[in-house]
Amino acid sequence: MSGAFTKTMARNIFYGGSAFFIFIFIALTFDTVGALPERDHRENINEQVILGKRVWENNNCVGCHTLMGEGAYFAPELANVYNRFGNSKEAIIGFIKSRPVDGIPGRRSMPQFNLSDEELEGVAEFLKWTSEVDDANWPPNIQG
Amino acid sequence: MQYQSQMVAKPYFIAAIGLFIGQIIFGLIMGWQYVVGDFLFPEIPFNVARMVHTNLLIVWLLFGFMGASYYLVPEESETELYSPKLALALFWIFLVAGALTIVGYLAVPYATLAQVTGNELLPTMGREFLEQPTITKIGIVIVALGFLFNIAMTVLKGRKTTVSLVLLIGLTGLALLFLFSFYNPHNLVLDKMFWWYVVHLWVEGVWELILGAILAFVLIKTTGVDREVIEKWLYVIIAMTLITGILGTGHHFYWIGTPEYWQIIGSVFSALEPIPFFMMTVFAFNMVNQRRREHPNKAAVLWALGTAVMAFLGAGVWGFLHTLSPVNYYTHGSQITAAHGHMAFYGAYVMIVLTIISYAMPMMRGRAAANSEKAQVMEMWSFWLMTVAMVFITLFLTAAGILQIYMQRMGGDAAQPFMVVQENIALFYWLREGAGFVFLTGLILYVVSFFVGGEERKETA
């Protein structure tokens, strides 16, 4: 890179290019935020879903599981677990409740979090709500 | 070393290496848990080990970036650091806060940590990479602001170079974007979307500016090539980084509830993201080939070239591998993501920090320019062991990922459940763990190389 192409020109491309794309990105951010209510069904976010998300966070569930493909890859995807468990909140609650305290010899096992009935109900509602978000038909199949 | 105040970088680099060791130990624990599921259960469940592994990485890289800034900004600005005392005070605050956070992760259940630290007042915890208690996050902001102030004041009172300016822009972006970590709405889709404004815009945005600036500094020093040439390259590289990387954020907006147009925008722009990394490789090799001096620190030059190559492979090639939306539909959230994450972080950010440490540490330890031949040979062995090990970790995870996708997400009714597939591909997790131990061997050699004495190597040309 020599000759006619100067450092000043390179600098101007950096500032001009960055400013332009930052502007586009901000515009798209507003457009996306405006389009989300159609897709995320936020009218269904009730107190239970809110509690469920807090339980999800406070127990660092994302440290093992993925949720909509984001998180750790140690345990199953949960954005569609509601569907995988036969559209049943009870199945989700039953699974979380029944985890052995000392694990399973030689195998991966979810810890026993000792959640209250209210918290269990919240998590199940949160996962049900998540399964209903329009996420462009991901994951590819029921196995997540 | 030209300015006494550059010495404050030393504790930062030492802390960085110490935390790096911790990160690798927890990486090995997790790798073991992948194949022996009940290892350390329930004392250290996988989620805790992972949180320690990733948070230690982030913290030690930040230590590295700060150390790099304290070292190179006085030299670039041709003046002493504005306040070495502030730099030292912030070092201890950051180290203690970081250590307490890690101890908190390990000592009590995460839910207890959330409760004790008052997460209910401003809930920010429990999101990937942003697991730190809210008070730790506030501490990070305070440290970052004090650090930025110190660096900016130094730049302002001295010579303003492109390298220090680009570094400052990168660091400012790092601090500002971190503020998005305090936004945690009840709506998961919004939460996920703005979470990426920290994570993506850090590692595929402003961190690349920091990387570019440090690399440019080391190349100026070790090759003796005209500063004008190097700075022109730097501008072109970071221009391409932001032109491709900002809208490249779209490759995270395919399947989280955001509109479908992101599949096109994200695919197109993130497919271009390897370009700045490729340019970085061409740049680094060109500058070393055109060198006007034979710098006695061969190890530092090796790390610099290694950074350029491995960043291109890890971030560029392995990123491109799964960035197009029709491909990502199948690869999203699989071991392919893990493969890419490992090599990209190692190649781009681990290696650039080790580059500046390799360049700066000998001088901070009282040598004219470089370590002894013997120490450098050992350091270069550690370079090859860690780098080759990381290549194999990436290859094994990629193989595991391909098989996982095939068994779990394709094949119609024959598709198998997650846990069944995990057992089917366990062989590759064993191989990955083996490569992990090779990595640890390299890391031990790296640390040992600091204690190898001998006659200092002199400039040959």
The pLDDT of residue B413: 86
C-alpha–C-alpha distance, residues B244 and B251, integer Å: 11
Task: Please state, for a pLDDT cut of 70, what percent of chain B lies above it.
Answer: 99
Chain A hits for B41, Cβ within 8 Å: 102-103, 109, 111
Domain-located, residue B119: yes
* CATH code, A42-144: 1.10.760.10
Cα–Cα distance, B213 to B290 (Å, whole number): 19
Dihedral angle over CA of B380, B383, B385, B390, nearest 10: -170
> What is the model's pLDDT at position A3?
67
Question: Is B238 an interface residue toward A (CB < 8 Å)?
Answer: yes
Q: Give A4's pLDDT tier (boundaries 50, 70, 90).
A: confident
pLDDT tens-place string over residues B98-121: 999 999 999 999 999 999 999 999
Tell whether the model's pLDDT for residue B4 goes beyond 90.
yes
Q: Is there a contact between B376 and B457 (Cβ–Cβ < 8 Å)?
A: yes
Chain Cα centroid distance, residue B125: 21
pLDDT score, position B184: 98
pLDDT at position B454: 86
pLDDT tens column, A86-108: 999 999 999 999 999 999 999 99
Nearest to B38 among A60, A73, A107 (CB): A107
Helical pair B84-107 and B134-157, crossing angle rounded to 10 deg: 160
Residue at B352 is within a domain: no
- Give the Å distances, CA to CA, from B297 to B17, B218, B280, B293, B374: 20, 11, 21, 11, 12
Q: Which tokens is B255 given?
A: 């399947």
Has residue B459 got a pLDDT over 80?
Answer: no
Average pLDDT (B176-188) is 98
Distance from CA of B106 to the nearest CA of A (A): 13
Rounded to whole angstroms, the Cα distance separating B235 from B267 reads 25
Per residue in B235-291, pLDDT (tens digit) is 999 999 999 999 999 999 999 999 999 999 999 999 999 999 999 999 999 999 999
Residue B455: pLDDT band by 50, 70, 90 thresholds?
confident
Chain B interface disruption, residue of A12, A60, A99, most B CBs within 10 A: A60
| Interface touch B417/A103, C-beta < 8 Å | no
In a domain, B194, yes or no: no
Range of the domain at B64: 1-160
In a domain, B48, yes or no: yes
A140 contacts B329? CB cut-off 8 A: yes
**Number of domains chain B is built from:** 1
Determine whether the interchain pair B50/A28 forms a contact, defined as Cβ–Cβ distance below 8 Å. no
